[in-house]
Chains A and B, each alone.
Chain A
Amino acid sequence: MQQCIRAFFAKRNVLEVETPILARAGVTDVHLCNVVTRLQGPGMPEPQNFYLQTSPEYAMKRLLAAGSGAIFQLCKVVRDDEISCRHNPEFSMLEWYRPEYDDAALMAELDALVQEVLGCEPAEYLTYQQAFLSILDIDPLHSDAKPALLKVLSERGYDGAVNESDNLDTILQLAMSVLIEPVIGQRRPCFVSHFPASQAALARIAVADHRVSHRFELFFQGLELANGFWELADAQQQRGRFLADNVERERLGLATQPLDERFLAALEHGLPDCSGVAVGLDRLLMLRLGVKDIAEILTFPVSRA
Chain B
Amino acid sequence: MANFSTNEFKSGLKIMQDGEPCVILENEMVKPGKGQAFSRVRIRKLLSGKVVEKTFKSGDSVEGADVVDVELAYLYSDGEFWHFMNNETFEQLAADDAAVGDNKKWLVEQDVCTITLWNGKPINVAPPNFVELEITETDPGLKGDTAGTGGKPATLVTGAVVRVPLFVQIGEVIKVDTRSGEYVSRVK
Contacts and interface: CB of A to CB of B under 8 A. Distances in A.
A224 B37 contact: no
Contacts of B55: 157-161, 174, 178
Contact of A31 (B7, B28, B34): B34
B36 A170 contact: yes
Contacts of B31: 31, 82, 84, 87, 177
A217 B33 contact: yes
A227 B54 contact: no
B131 interface: no
A201 B35 CA distance: 10
Nearest to B17: A160
A280 to B, nearest CB: 8
B29 A173 contact: no
Interface string B1-36: 000000100000000000000000000111111111
B102 interface: no
A31 B37 contact: yes
B30 A177 contact: yes
A15 interface: no
Contact of A227 (B7, B33, B53, B60): B33
Nearest to B30: A177
Contacts of A161: 38, 55-57, 60
Nearest to B62: A160
Interface residues of A, number: 28
Interface string B33-61: 11111101000000000001111111010
Contacts of A227: 33-34
B38 A174 contact: yes
A26 B41 CA distance: 31
A178 B37 CA distance: 12
B164 to A, nearest CB: 42
A224 B32 contact: yes
B35 A178 contact: no
A241 B33 CA distance: 18
B54 A178 contact: no
A201 B32 contact: no
Contacts of B7: 81
A177 B33 CA distance: 10
B45 to A, nearest CB: 14
A174 B36 contact: yes
B32 A176 contact: yes
B36 A82 contact: no
Contact of A178 (B40, B56, B58): B40
A159 B52 CA distance: 12
Given A83-B29, A84-B29, A178-B40, A199 B35 contact: yes
A151 to B, nearest CB: 15
B36 A31 contact: yes
B34 A82 contact: no
A260 interface: no
B29 A32 contact: no
B56 A173 contact: no
A201 B34 contact: yes
A179 to B, nearest CB: 11
A82 B37 contact: yes
B32 A177 contact: yes
B35 A173 contact: yes
Contacts of A199: 34-35
A292 to B, nearest CB: 12
A3 to B, nearest CB: 26
Given A32-B34, A227-B33, A227-B34, 14 more contacts: A31-B31, A31-B36, A31-B37, A81-B7, A84-B28, A157-B52, A160-B54, A161-B56, A162-B57, A169-B36, A170-B36, A201-B34, A217-B33, A224-B33
Interface of A: 29, 31-32, 81-85, 87, 157-162, 169-170, 173-174, 176-178, 199, 201, 217, 224, 227, 280
18 contacts: A31-B37, A32-B34, A81-B58, A82-B31, A83-B29, A84-B29, A84-B31, A157-B55, A159-B55, A160-B54, A161-B60, A173-B32, A174-B38, A177-B32, A178-B40, A178-B55, A201-B34, A224-B33
5 closest Cβ contacts across the A-B interface?
A: A173-B35, A84-B29, A161-B55, A177-B30, A158-B55
